[in-house]
């Protein structure tokens, strides 16, 4: 049975976001506000203690860093190692699963190098056009 364009559109109205875009769950996990800098830092610099991470990602608050680290550990993207010393020492490192994202980050980094200037130019052109009076 051949589905018409109208039938596909009607069906699409009831599709869950994950079905409409199968990468949506990954984007939510990996590209949330602070996840990317944390994973990038652990991938680039290796095992880090909490304060080292906080210094490297200077604008993150301790509360948010704690929340993101717990979520990343839950998702299997980082490993938390507790050392029962006095004082206790906790270290974080990227897991094999998290490290498997490195090619994705490398590809995105290449895209940024080749295209970010184009994005900035497009923004400037758009903003300039928005400021012109209508009809000109």
Residue 40: count of CB within 10 angstroms of its CB = 17
- pLDDT for 90 beyond 80: yes
User: What single-letter DSSP state applies at residue 85?
Assistant: -
Class (C level, CATH) for 17-100: mainly alpha
- pLDDT for 1 beyond 60: no
Q: Assign residue 46 a region (left: φ > 0; alpha: ψ between -120 and 50; beta: otherwise).
A: left
What pLDDT does residue 95 have?
97
CA distance 38 to 58: 11
**Phi, psi (rounded to 5 degrees) for 81:** -120, 120
For the chain, which residues make up each domain, given as ranges?
17-100
CA distance 81 to 105: 25
- 125 pLDDT tier (thresholds 50, 70, 90): very high
């Amino acid at each position: 049975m051949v589905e018409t364009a109208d039938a596909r559109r009607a069906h699409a109205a009831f599709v869950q976001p994950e079905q409409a875009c199968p990468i949506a769950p990954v984007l939510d996990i990996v590209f949330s506000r602070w996840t990317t800098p944390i994973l990038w830092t652990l991938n680039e610099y290796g095992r880090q203690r909490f304060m080292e991470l906080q210094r490297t990602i200077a604008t993150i608050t301790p509360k948010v860093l704690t929340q993101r680290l717990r979520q990343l550990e839950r998702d299997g993207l980082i490993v938390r190692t507790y050392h029962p010393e006095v004082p206790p020492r906790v270290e974080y490192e990227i897991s094999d699963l998290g490290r498997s994202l490195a090619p994705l980050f490398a590809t995105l980094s290449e895209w940024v190098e080749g295209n970010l200037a184009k994005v900035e130019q497009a923004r400037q052109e758009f903003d300039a056009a928005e400021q012109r009076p209508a009809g000109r």
